[in-house]
Amino acid sequence: MPADPQRRAALLNLKLRALVRDHLGHEIGDISATAPVPFGRGAALVTDGTAWLFLAEQPERSLGGALAWAMRQPASSDVAIIAESASGILARRAALFDLPISVWHAVERLLVPAVVEPYPDLGPLDPAHDEMRALIAEGGAEPLVEHGVLVGEVRGLEVCRVVTDATTGEVRLEVGVGAHDREAFLMIHGGRPTVEALADVVTSVELHRREDAPYHPLNKLGEERFLRWAVLRDPERIGAASLAVAAPPVPRVNVKDPVPAVAVGTTVDGRPLVVVTSTGIDLDLVPFALDAREMHDPAAELYLVVPERDASPVTRSLAAAARRPPTVVPLG
C-alpha cells in the first residue's frame, strides 16, 4: 500500500467495493453516498442494509472500531467484516456479541466464511526456563508467565525475559525493556552478573513507575499493565477478593504497543471473575475482554477496569452490545 494516506484510503475503498460487488453479484452504487463516515483502519460502506468493513490495519485489534462505526450508521442492520488475516480471531470474537455479524476471509477477490480459530494451548512452562524464576525474583523483578514466556516485570513493565538461544540452545535471562534494549544491554554488559544487572534496571524503573511520578518514557510504556499491577495489589478496590495475572487471548507482540492486561480471580461474594485493564480510549477493549473471559472462564463475571477519564460512551455502548455484557469499572 502507498504511504500517502489519501491515496491509500482511496485504494482500500476501491478494493472493498470490488470485493462486495463480486460477492453480491451486482453494483453497489456511489461509495461517497453510502459511506459518509471514514473508517481509519481500512474501508467501509453501507449497502442493502449491511455495513461492510474491510480491516486492513491490525485486523485482530480492529473489531471494536468496526462495530462502533457500524452502530453509528442508521441505514445498516447487519455487519459484515472482511479481513485477509486474523479472520479466525475476528469470527471468535464476533460470536460474543448480540449483533448480526458475519466475518469473511478474503482470498484475492473471493470472500469465504471465516473459520473460528481455537484458543492457543497455554501448556506448561519449559522446565529449563522455570529454573530462572528464582534469579528474576532475586534481581527484584516479579516473575510472570504469559503464553509460555517467562518475564520479569517491575510494576507492570517488562524488564527481563528468559530466552533460548536459537543457535546454541542455551537458556539465558536477557535484561532490558523490549527486544532492542535487551540486545543492546547484552552487547554492552555481556560479562556482567545477571542478578546485579537486573537489580540496577529494577531500581531505575521503580523510580518512574509511580502514580505521582513526573512524565518519563518508562511510565508511559505499559500503562494498562501498571493499572493491572495496582489492582492486583488492592483487589478490593474493584470489588474483588483475589486476583492473579492471566494470559491474554492472543500473545503480546512487543512491550511498546498498548494491549489490555488480564487477571483472574473471584469477586468479594465468591463468584469467578475475569478482569481486563486498559488505559486510553481503546475501541477494541470490549471484544478483547470478551475473548479473554471466554478463554479463561465463560461463566465468570467480567470487569473492564479503566481510568475514570477513559470510561467513554463508546466503550459502554460496545459493552452493552455483548451477549453477556461486562461491567465497566472506572477508577478515579
Mean of all residue pLDDT scores within the chain? 91
Domain shared by 159 and 250, yes or no: no
pLDDT value for 184: 74
Domain shared by 184 and 153, yes or no: yes
Q: Which domain holds residue 76?
A: 5-113
Listed in sequence order, the residues at least 6 apart from 138 whose beta carbon sits closer than 8 Å to its beta carbon are 195
Q: Is it the case that residue 35 has pLDDT exceeding 50?
A: no
pLDDT of 61-104, one tens digit each?
999 999 999 999 988 899 999 999 999 999 999 999 999 999 99
How do strand 327-331 and strand 301-307 relate by DSSP bridges?
Answer: parallel
Domain shared by 10 and 108, yes or no: yes
pLDDT value for 33: 42
Q: What is the mean pLDDT of residues 116-141?
A: 94
| Domain CATH for 304 | 3.40.1350
Domain shared by 204 and 229, yes or no: no
pLDDT value for 274: 98
% of the chain surpassing 70 pLDDT:
93
pLDDT value for 6: 80
pLDDT value for 253: 82
pLDDT value for 211: 85
Residue 217's pLDDT band (boundaries 50, 70, 90)?
A: confident
* Per-residue exposure over 87-96, b if at least 16 CB sit within 10 Å of its own CB, e if not: bbbbbbbbeb
What's the rounded Cα separation, in Å, for the pair 91 and 112? 12
Domain shared by 232 and 312, yes or no: yes
Domain assignment of residue 315, yes or no: yes
Domain assignment of residue 120, yes or no: no
Domain assignment of residue 216, yes or no: no
| Total tally of structural domains belonging to the chain | 3
Residue whose C-alpha cell is 449483533: 99
Q: What is the mean pLDDT of residues 188-216?
A: 85
Domain shared by 234 and 324, yes or no: yes
CA trace torsion 32, 38, 41, 42 (10° rounding) = 0
Domain shared by 176 and 148, yes or no: yes
Lowest mean pLDDT among 129-133, 183-187, 290-294: 183-187
Answer yes or no: are the C-beta atoms of 266 and 290 closer than 8 Å.
no
What's the rounded Cα separation, in Å, for the pair 65 and 293? 20
pLDDT value for 188: 67
Q: What is the mean pLDDT of residues 141-148?
A: 95
Domain shared by 77 and 162, yes or no: no
Q: Is it the case that residue 193 has pLDDT exceeding 80?
A: no
pLDDT of 275-303, one tens digit each?
999 999 999 999 999 999 999 999 999 99
Residue 32's pLDDT band (boundaries 50, 70, 90)?
A: very low
pLDDT value for 178: 74
Q: Is it the case that residue 218 has pLDDT exceeding 50?
A: yes
